Amino acid sequence: MQQHADQYIDGSWRPSLGGEALTVFNPATEQPIATVPAGTAADVDAAVAAARAAARGWGTTTREQRLAPLTRLRDGLVERQEEIAALISAEQGSPIGFARTVQAGLPVAVASSYVELLAGYEFQETVGNSTVLAEPAGVVAAITPWNYPLHQIVAKVVPALAAGCTVVLKPAEDTPLVARLFAELVAAAGFPAGVFNLVTGVGAVAGAALAAHPEVDLVSFTGSTAVGRAIGEAAGRGIKKVALELGGKSANVVLPGADLARAVNVNAANVFTNSGQTCTAWSRLLVHQDQYEEAVELAAKAAAKYRPGDPGAVGTRMGPVVNAKQRDRVRGYIESGLAQGARLAAGGAEAPADLPIGYYVQPTVLADVTPGMTVAQEEIFGPVLSILAYRDEEHALEIANGTEYGLAGGVWAADEATAVAFARRMDTGQVHINGGAFNPLAPFGGYKSSGVGRELGRHGLEEFLQTKSLQF
């Protein structure tokens, strides 16, 4: 078992100022695989001080001076993709095939997109008698989750560095190992000391200290809505800019005339991939009442294809959830749905019969779900699909918009124009039309309690910029 006792601060690995350690577990075996330091407020102070000292110099670099190390960082992500995939599979539980293509592959695509964007981005424009400058926001606190641990790091840190900001990263305590690997790549890429800093630790200590730190200018957080509210409140007291990518309860709406079988099968892949630990997961499938039972049958058959198994095996499509707490939470939601009147069409709250060890949850389909049920309102963050019936298009829209969230969704229709017209009325940040693919260049973020701000592409870069006008 690897034992780490250092943080990456001011361009070097230095002993953590706290004496406690966090144990990292393999969720498939429940065995410890490493320890990392549980950073304290003192570690955060040191990291922020380093970032603040480096901010002026890095913020005044040219586009070319930033492009060089960012390109080397991107190349490092490419070179170590296999190692990254294996590491995330071990600490997070992603099946190795998914870890290779998405957990390791998507960060490469995102980093590449920012290298290309930065190469042509204009940081000033003329407006009348003014020159408007886009300047770095300053010191950024990046607080990231465990479900897509490297992607979320890259989606925050790379555009922040491209904008000329300095960064202190606090990764999720369940998945700190890939964050340490990322810090190694930053060190190898040749960024100036203090431009990037890493503090591992628990959210209630290191994360809270970072979000409220008076020398932090911007807080970028991805995680639960409850924690996002607390971070927003702490940042607000310091008049800091925040970017919050929070929870979701996304609806996938199948309108009459759409390809029902394809819509249901794509929905199953969407909600069972990564064991349902995806903030944009289509956890609510909305189907017209005349097609309801057919949809339930199709969903149950699709769920059978996602049999949980060893994430290290090449053919596994669904691994465990990240930890015991998450497993118990998801199972509790399944039990709640059944207690409130839902019908079990596939799966259930019991552990898979052949997997007594590991934090596994069966891929579950709940039928006869009504909009007021807990499973139709709250984010489960597990492999649970709720199927709801609607009477007509207006009823479907009412259900789709009838939660506090608005992060993502899908619409299926016989023709694109009908789907787009419905999507335009959905209160959500992204909508996939007839199965349209995820686009890492498009802005990503939510409405309502799903957050504020956007990540990815030009919009993601501009979250880390502020404007200054010079009048002539």
Active site residues: 245, 279
8-state DSSP, 455: B
The sign one gets for the Cα dihedral 47, 50, 53, 59 is negative
- Count of residues in the chain: 472
Measure the CA–CA gap between 81 and 89, rounded to whole angstroms.
Answer: 12
8-state DSSP, 338: H
8-state DSSP, 64: H
Helix/strand/coil for 112: helix
Helix/strand/coil for 133: strand
Measure the CA–CA gap between 213 and 458, rounded to whole angstroms.
Answer: 28
Beta-carbon contacts of 406 under 8 Å, excluding residues fewer than 6 positions away, are 248, 426, 427, 428, 429, 446, 447, 448, 449, 450
Token representation of residue 290: 């005349």
∠205-206-208 over CA atoms, to 5°?
A: 70
Beta-carbon contacts of 264 under 8 Å, excluding residues fewer than 6 positions away, are 254, 285, 295, 298, 299, 302
Measure the CA–CA gap between 60 and 138, rounded to whole angstroms.
Answer: 11
Measure the CA–CA gap between 381 and 224, rounded to whole angstroms.
Answer: 10
Measure the CA–CA gap between 138 and 142, rounded to whole angstroms.
Answer: 12
Measure the CA–CA gap between 85 and 124, rounded to whole angstroms.
Answer: 39
Helix/strand/coil for 154: helix
